[in-house]
Every structure is written in structure tokens, then in C-alpha cells.
Chains A and B, each alone.
Chain A
Amino acid sequence: MVTVVIGGSSSGKSEYAENLAVQLGQDNLIYIATMEPFGEESKLRIKKHQAMRSSKNFKTIECFTGLDKLLLSAGNTVLLECMSNLAANEMFSSSGAKDNVFAAIQKGIMNLSKQANHLIIVTNNVFEDGCNYSNETLEYIKLLGHINQWMASIADQVIEVIHGIPVVIK
């Protein structure tokens, strides 16, 4: 089963997704962390997320690019946090898929969904603010929009989190 959890920044989507994973997976929980620790702010952010899930018994696997090559043991509930970072890594990082991001992400998600009992993907709503962005940023927004639509089309359920409140939209 595939669940997509979407929300804005600081909307409570991570906490909701973690709790959902715990409900579904109990002891067999894998957390795929996608944020590359560049600079103090992202290191702090990573620490904050680690603290938030510390009591939930996730096994953390870091994966910044190349999700399609990840091999997991069978029977797990897998939480991927989050697509907005993974897409940015694939687009901008030296090991990323560059011009081929959409296909790489599709392959990566299919790879995970085959191996996981439950796959929960957290993604970001970055679409409702401003329009004065560089072309590069606009490309990223467009790409994440396409990825979100595709993920929602293959997902069994899609949940939008608003100030910590889950709203089922599929």
C-alpha cells in the first residue's frame, strides 16, 4: 500500500506520517532520510527530526540520490522523508539524475513499493506562494508538481495535513 502525505512547511506532516508508520508497521519500520547535511541549518533540522522520531524505533537509511538501487529487507513499513529534498538532490547534486529526474524518481518509488509492505511518502506543498522565482527554481517547482501528481495517481491514499489535521483527499 502506498500513502502520500502532503503539507506545507511546518504543517505537522512529518509527525503525522511518522505516527501513521508506527500504526501500520509496529516493529518493522524503516526511515529513508533524504536531506543532505549541508551547512548548520540543515544539520540542526536533521537533528530535530531525529529527536522527534527517536522513541519510534525507526531504522534510518540515508539516501540522497539513486533510490532505485536501494535494497531493503522484506516486510517493512517504509517512510520516505521527503520527496521535496530527494527531487532537489536528483536535480542539483553532482550524483543526481540531472535531466532525467522524473524517470529516476519513478523508478525509485516503484523499487520501494515492491519491497515494502507499506510505503509512506512525505512531500511538500511548495506551490502556493510567490511567482518571482529564478528559472531554475521554477523548473524545480514544476518537476515536484509532476512528481506529486504521478505519486498521487499510483497511491492508495493521499492525505493533506493542515496545521496537524489530516484531511483525506484520495
Chain B
Amino acid sequence: MVLITGGAFQGKLEYTLNLTGILKEDIMDGENCTMEDLLNRPLVNHFHLWIDRMFRGDRDIYELMDLIQTENPDLIIIVDELGCGIVPMDPYDREYREVTGRVCCEIAKIAKEVHRVTCGIGMVIKHD
């Protein structure tokens, strides 16, 4: 896996497309992609929205991540780096933010590359 992280609106998608040459029609979106998409297609954007959907649906995110890692080991994941703000007032938001952080730590552990994008500029922070 490759993990591309950074704040919202930092040019992560464009950076990734330039880096990989993946075509726009091959991008899936965490907001609405299916598990079948995740097991087959090369690039998922807004992965935090997928985590949000799975968490709301009470799914075992780590089990699903294992399956994705086995079936689609070259998947490129773009995620918003949540957690760099004041603790949210809403209890669900607090928990969702924490779960997303923990899941990203796990993805970063198994990813062969992690890039952090700020102002459209990527920095490779892990490269196996």
C-alpha cells in the first residue's frame, strides 16, 4: 500500500495523479466506493469518509483492512490527516477522529511508502 496524507485541500489528489499516472476515471471515492471497488481498483480518495461509513455501520475496520491488503496490496490511499485541531465537542466526532488516527497509524505501518502533502508539495516520510 501507499498512503498519501495531509490536511484538507492541500492538493493530495493532483499530487498523486502526477506521481502515479493513474487516470481520473480509475479514482474511487471513500464517500461511496464499494468493497469490491477497494479490492480491485488502484486509487481511493477521501479514505477518511470510508472509515466514517464503516465506523457508523459498526464494521470491523481492521478486518476489512487486512482483506484489502491481501487482495489489493498496491492500493494507493489518500486520506485527510485529521486530529490536528481542538478536541471536537460532539462525542461521535471525537471517536471518529480517534479511530481514523489509529487506522492511519496501522496503514502507515504496513505501507511501503507514506507521503505527506502540504501546499501541493509531497514529502516522503516513509520508504521501504
Contact assessment for B5 and A163 in the assembled complex, using a CB-CB cutoff below 8 Å: yes
Q: Which of A5-24 contact B (CB under 8 A)?
A: 7-12
Chain A hits for B7, CB < 8 A: 128
Contact assessment for A10 and B108 in the assembled complex, using a CB-CB cutoff below 8 Å: no
**Chain A min CB distance to B11 (Å):** 15
A61 at the interface (CB under 8 A from B): no
Contact assessment for A11 and B116 in the assembled complex, using a CB-CB cutoff below 8 Å: no
Chain A contact residue count (CB 8 A cutoff)? 22
Alpha-carbon gap, A11 to B94, bound state (A): 14
Contact assessment for A10 and B105 in the assembled complex, using a CB-CB cutoff below 8 Å: yes
Contact (A9, B105) CB under 8 Å given A128-B7, A165-B114? no
Contact (A126, B86) CB under 8 Å given A162-B5, A163-B108, A165-B114? yes
Q: Mark B2-18, 1 if CB is under 8 A from A, else 0.
A: 01010100000000000
A163 partner, pick from B85, B98, B107, beta carbons under 8 A: B107
Chain B contact residue count (CB 8 A cutoff)? 27
Q: Which of A123-170 contact B (CB under 8 A)?
A: 125-130, 133, 137, 140-141, 162-165, 167
Alpha-carbon gap, A125 to B7, bound state (A): 12
Closest to A45 in B: B98
Chain A hits for B83, CB < 8 A: 7-11, 125
Prevailing SS type, chain A contact patch: loop
Contact assessment for B109 and A128 in the assembled complex, using a CB-CB cutoff below 8 Å: no
Chain A hits for B109, CB < 8 A: 164
Alpha-carbon gap, A164 to B102, bound state (A): 9
Q: Which of A37-89 contact B (CB under 8 A)?
A: 41
Residue of A11, A41, A133 with highest tally of chain B CB at under 10 A = A11
Chain B hits for A129, CB < 8 A: 82, 84-86
What are 19 inter-chain pairs, A to B, with CB distance below 8 A? Answer: A8-B84, A9-B82, A9-B85, A9-B87, A9-B98, A10-B100, A10-B101, A10-B105, A12-B101, A125-B83, A126-B84, A126-B85, A126-B86, A129-B86, A130-B86, A162-B81, A163-B81, A163-B105, A167-B116
Top 8 A-B pairs ranked by shortest CB distance?
A: A129-B85, A10-B101, A8-B83, A163-B108, A8-B84, A9-B83, A128-B84, A164-B105
Q: Give residues in A with beta carbon < 8 Å to B.
A: 7-12, 41, 125-130, 133, 137, 140-141, 162-165, 167
